[in-house]
Amino acid sequence: DIQMTQSPSSLSASVGDRVTITCRASQSISSYLNWYQQKPGKAPKLLIYAASSLQSGVPSRFSGSGSGTDFTLTISSLQPEDFATYYCQQSYSTHGAFGQGTKVEIK
Amino acid sequence: QLQLQESGPGLVKPSETLSLTCTVSGGSISSSSYYWGWIRQPPGKGLEWIGSIYYSGSTYYNPSLKSRVTISVDTSKNQFSLKLSSVTAADTAVYYCARGVIVVVPAGSPYNWFDPWGQGTLVTVSS
Q: Tell which residue, B56, B28, B37, has the closest CA to residue B113.
A: B37
pLDDT for residue A91 is more than 90: yes
User: Are B45 and B91 a contacting pair, CB within 8 Å?
Assistant: no
pLDDT for residue A27 is more than 90: yes
pLDDT for residue B56 is more than 90: no
**B1: which residues sit within 8 A by CB, 6+ positions away?**
B26
pLDDT at B107: 82
pLDDT for residue B51 is more than 90: yes
- For chain B, the average pLDDT equals 95
Measure CB to CB from residue A94 to each of B46, B60, B108 and give the nearest one: B60
Q: How far apart are CA B33 and CA B54, in angstroms?
A: 9
Chain A interface test: which of B38, B47, B54 (most A C-beta within 10 Å): B47
* CA-atom Rg of chain B in angstroms: 15
Cβ-defined contact of A94 to B117 (cutoff 8 Å): no
Grade residue B32 by pLDDT with cuts at 50, 70 and 90: confident
Average pLDDT of span B97-119? 93
User: Are B127 and B14 a contacting pair, CB within 8 Å?
Assistant: yes
pLDDT at B55: 84
Mark out chain B residues that contact chain A at CB-CB < 8 A. Answer: 37, 39, 46-49, 52, 60, 62-63, 96, 101, 103, 108-109, 111-120
pLDDT for residue B57 is more than 90: no
Q: Tell which residue, B6, B31, B33, has the closest CA to residue B21.
A: B6
